[in-house]
Amino acid sequence: MMDGNMPDGYGRNHYIGGGFRPADSGRSGPVFNPSTGAEIYRTPYAGRTLVDEVAALARRAGRDWGEASQARRLQVIFRMREIVAREAENLARLVGLESGKTLSDAMGEIGRGLEAVEFATNAPQVTKGEYSRNVGGGIDTFSFRQPVGVVGCIAPFNFPVMVPLMMGSMAIATGNAVILKPSERVPGAAARLSELWTEAGLPAGVWNSVNGDAEAVDAILEHPGIPAISFVGSTRVGEHIWRHGTHHGKRVAAYTGGKNHMVVLPDADLEAAARAFVAAGYGSASQRCMAVSMLVCVGEDTAERLRPLILKRIAGLQIGAYDTPGMDFGALVTRAARDAVEAAIDRALTEGGEMVHDGRGLTVAGGEGGFFTGATLIDRITPEMQLWRDEIFGPVRGIMRAASLDSAIDLVNAHEYGNGAVIFTRSGGAAARFCAEVEAGMLGVNVPVPVPVGHHNFGGLRRSKFGDAHMFGPDAARFYTKMKTVSQRWPDEAKAALPLTLDFPGND
């Protein structure tokens, strides 16, 4: 099954105006099966001409969709929820084939994506306006929200279904058209997702998916008919998207890198902490921005007691092809990604790290050409090392030591990223201090991956997020809509003869 083929059309064509369409810009790129290293097909890259065409189509379709009733829009959202649930296993196989993610992990991703679809059914509630009667002078004031028009959604490789659903569901529910640009490494699942929106009853042109690289992204950022951009990916690219998009007058929400610390106090349940660290640190081959990157042990004794508990669990992890039952995680997405991770391991050892468990050079039977790296753990990491400074998107995690909770909080806050951070402790006071003082957007107390449920806002702080919006939750609805406030007074014949005045109007 590792050599499974992508269905015709998926990833090989763009999805425009309700159907697949080829478009040859003369540029394309390979899509691999990471479990074998084999190239599955080549995906075409959109150029500016195609983006211009899709933007015009989306603008026309979005205008009608934005005028559709809330009931009409919600019918589509409800249908989409049922269709995605029905198609979850098929979507998971597409995700696994192109990303290397295990099928069970892909199913978990789809389940979280469904939360975003479910929350989008609340769009009428979270976008309703306000009304004030007779604020003065017989004037009534009210506000209402309208869709921004066309939204560009630029998605990452590591969550090919979840992130487009998180971005797109509320955008659709609030009356916008969407142009999705999936990662060029994993365009197949996005193509199937596009088909499902059409099956759910979304009018042609309201949801479109164009494959491409940086040229397509810049065309979206610069197009005057696309007023809003949502992005998930690396900090380097996210900052470019935020700066370039805002330069062109767009509202931009860019969710970027993370270096998430897990602080463990001496009073914590160390068995639970060890299980949580391994699960949160190595799941999805550590290719997720909310993965725990660094274990910060408060006290040398805590580190010495916790380290063997973690090592025992790491040594038992099973790594293999996405469709092999019982695997804990699969391959990295590309050969270059695998090589970069192993280079980071080499450098950490050169800089003074102590190897606890080495996952380099892993081969998998039947997938000898696959992009595999085993779970790696390095102790004695310090802030001077690359392994602490950089987000390493692969299964190498580090152990750090702090003398006190104060020192641990200072260490977390010294990093440029502020996506997530967690603490394991039995002390409510320590947990309260941690949550109050740590500069990260998503915090966990004895919860290793603090990604909030779909009706709460998702987003980091500092250089883990550019722009003020959040991915899902009520803030997403605000991002995809614009506010208008109306002050109105209807004629009163008894006051029609009031004298002319040029003074600034009051509300008396």
Nearest alpha carbon to residue 440 among 467, 468, 459: 459
Residue 295 φ then ψ, to 5°: -95, 120
> Which of 199, 183, 189, 163 shows the shortest CA–CA distance to 81?
199
pLDDT 10s digits, 60-85: 999 999 999 999 999 999 999 999 99
User: Quick one: pLDDT at residue 321?
Assistant: 96
How is residue 453 annotated by DSSP? P
Q: Quick one: tokens of 191?
A: 């193509």
The mean of the pLDDT values for the chain is: 91
pLDDT at 494: 59
Does position 508 have pLDDT exceeding 70, yes or no? no
H runs (alpha helix) in 25-174: 48-67, 70-86, 88-99, 103-120, 123-126, 162-173
| Mean pLDDT, residues 174-190 | 96
Separation of alpha carbons 252 and 241, rounded Å: 8
Burial 109-126 (b: 16+ CB within 10 A, else e): bbebbbbbbbbbbbbeeb
| 1 pLDDT above the threshold of 60 | no
Neighbours of 489 (CB within 10 A): 13
The predicted-structure confidence for 358-395, as pLDDT tens digits, reads as follows: 999 999 998 999 999 999 999 999 999 999 999 898 99
Q: By percentage, how much of the chain surpasses pLDDT 90?
A: 78
The predicted pLDDT at position 498 comes to: 67
- pLDDT value, residue 290: 81
Give residue-wise pLDDT tens across range 264-286.
999 999 999 999 999 999 999 99
Q: What is the pLDDT of residue 133?
A: 94
**What's residue 4's pLDDT?**
59
Q: How much of the chain, in percent, has pLDDT values that exceed 70? A: 96
pLDDT for 460: 67
The residues that are catalytic are 289
Please check the confidence at residue 33 and state whether its pLDDT lies above 90.
Answer: yes
Confidence of residue 5 (pLDDT cuts 50, 70, 90): confident
Q: Annotate 205-254 with DSSP letters as a single string.
A: TSEEE---SHHHHHHHHH-TT--EEEEES-HHHHHHHHHHHHHTT-EEEE
The answer for residues whose C-beta is within 8 angstroms of residue 478's C-beta and 6 or more apart is 126, 127, 145, 469
Question: The whole model's pTM is what?
Answer: 0.91
- Residue 301's identity, in one-letter code, is D
Q: Mind listing the domains of the chain with CATH numbers?
A: 20-31+39-127+136-256+464-485 (3.40.605.10), 260-445 (3.40.309.10)
pLDDT tens for each residue of 333-343 = 999 999 999 99
Angle between helices 70-86 and 88-99 (to 10 degrees): 70
pLDDT in tens, 114-160: 999 999 999 999 999 899 999 988 899 999 999 999 999 999 999 99
Residues 193-203 pLDDT 10s: 999 999 999 99
- Cα–Cα distances (Å) from 203 to 18, 73, 123, 345, in that order, read 7, 10, 19, 49
What's the order of all strands across the beta sheet hosting 139-147?
Answer: 131-136, 139-147, 481-488
**Which 3 state secondary structure label does DSSP give 63?**
helix
Round to whole Å and give the CA distance between 500 and 427: 69
d(CA 422, CA 413): 13
Which residues lie closer than 8 Å to 52 by C-beta, 6 or more apart? 219, 223
| CA terminus-to-terminus distance, the chain | 76
User: CA-CA distance, 164 to 501, in Å (whole number)?
Assistant: 54
pLDDT tens, position by position, 435-468: 999 988 788 899 887 677 667 677 766 877 777 7
**pLDDT the model gives residue 496:** 60
